[in-house]
Amino acid sequence: MTTTNGTALLEPDPNRKRNSKKTAKERLQELLAVFGKDDTVLVVINADPDALASAMALRRLLRYRVKSITIAYPNEIRRLNNLVMVDLLKLPIERLHTVKPAEFTKRVMLDSQPSHLPCFENLSCDVVVDHHPATRGWLARFVDIRKEFGATASMMVEYLRAAGIKPSVPLATALFYAIKVDTNNFEKKATVADAISFRYLFKLANQHLVRKIELSTLRRSELNYFKVALAGMKVTKQRLYAHIGRVPSPDVLVLIADFLKQVHDVAWVFVSGVYGDKLVVIFRCDGYKKNAGRLAEKVFSATGSAGGHREAARAEVPLRNLDREGAEFSTNTLVRLTTKHL
């Protein structure tokens, strides 16, 4: 099916539930069957540790099976530990705007789905592998979505092991760190499979590199935004709210939200800020009888994109969709919008 402008209209895969019952070897065989030796492959990711490590793993799987592999990402990598990860592990990645997806014979999306970002919407994919809840409106030849997994990296470890491939030290380090980050050291929802992959990688990864990446978290310039959050935050009914104003990167909001969720007697954390022409809102909770992803959708899906997991979620809303283009958005506005849905 195509849209009026001739681009591919993607639809949900009716076989996802059936695919979830397949063995690792069966999934591997179906994945590899998509590719041929003359294929030029574009791997598209929204760059974070899980996506970066997963792309490295797929690159290793396809190394001798395709003509070339290019890993591309649309977002600017600003979080310091992510930059350190790319630098230390020498990850071969390119910005998405510098490549032409149509010129590749196969396109793969990892740790995301075509509906997750506006820049992905018109990108038709042959393969999608992800651990986020499945979305509608797209189709791929091979789909592996297992929302019960804590990290896509854990799924990629299964593929490597099914292929009989022992990851190199850099690859094992990247995958190990990715699982640590996405499961928050197994404090967030994860499966036994995540734990098995984590244990397998433990003896292969360079723990000194992992620690070096983990400790590279904050720039001195970012401390000012913590000051703004602490000075202007509001706490009511075990809910903590803070609007930061304009920020140089949404990652600053994530850092602040993850810091504030450690406050005793706080069940919900909402941190918002303006980045570019969008309002970005970060949701955090303990996930016990709460669902951050569902709440984010209730509050913001009508005006922007929103979703996530039980413990963590995110919404992005174009300022033009807000009253007076968000000029008067404040912590009080954040309180008002979220309270009516709690």
The pLDDT of residue 88: 92
The pLDDT of residue 3: 34
Looking at the chain, list the stretches that DSSP marks H as alpha helix, in order from N- to C-terminal side. 16-19, 24-33, 49-61, 80-88, 152-162, 169-182, 192-202, 207-215, 223-232, 250-260, 292-300, 331-339
The pLDDT of residue 20: 58
Rg (CA), the chain: 20
Sorted by where each starts, the structural domains of the chain and their CATH numbers stand as 16-215 (3.90.1640.10), 221-339 (3.10.310.40)
Confidence of residue 326 (pLDDT cuts 50, 70, 90): low
pTM of the predicted protein model: 0.70
How high does pLDDT run on average in the chain? Answer: 89
Q: Rounded distance, CA 73 to CA 173, Å?
A: 21
254 phi-psi bin (left φ>0, alpha ψ -120 to 50, beta other):
alpha
pLDDT at 97 over 60: yes
Count Cβ atoms within 10 A of the Cβ of residue 303 and give its class: 0-12 exposed, 13-18 middle, 19 or more buried: middle
pLDDT at 157 over 70: yes
Q: Rounded distance, CA 64 to CA 76, Å?
A: 30
Q: Rounded distance, CA 53 to CA 152, Å?
A: 9
Residue 68 CB neighbour total at 10 angstroms:
12
Reading the block at residue 37, the tokens are: 């030796």
Confidence of residue 45 (pLDDT cuts 50, 70, 90): very high
Looking only at Cα atoms, what is the longest distance across the chain?
Answer: 60
Mean pLDDT of 13-30: 73
pLDDT digits (tens, 9 = 90+) for 108-123: 999 999 988 888 878 8
Confidence of residue 287 (pLDDT cuts 50, 70, 90): confident
pLDDT at 17 over 50: no
Reading the block at residue 177, the tokens are: 């760190």
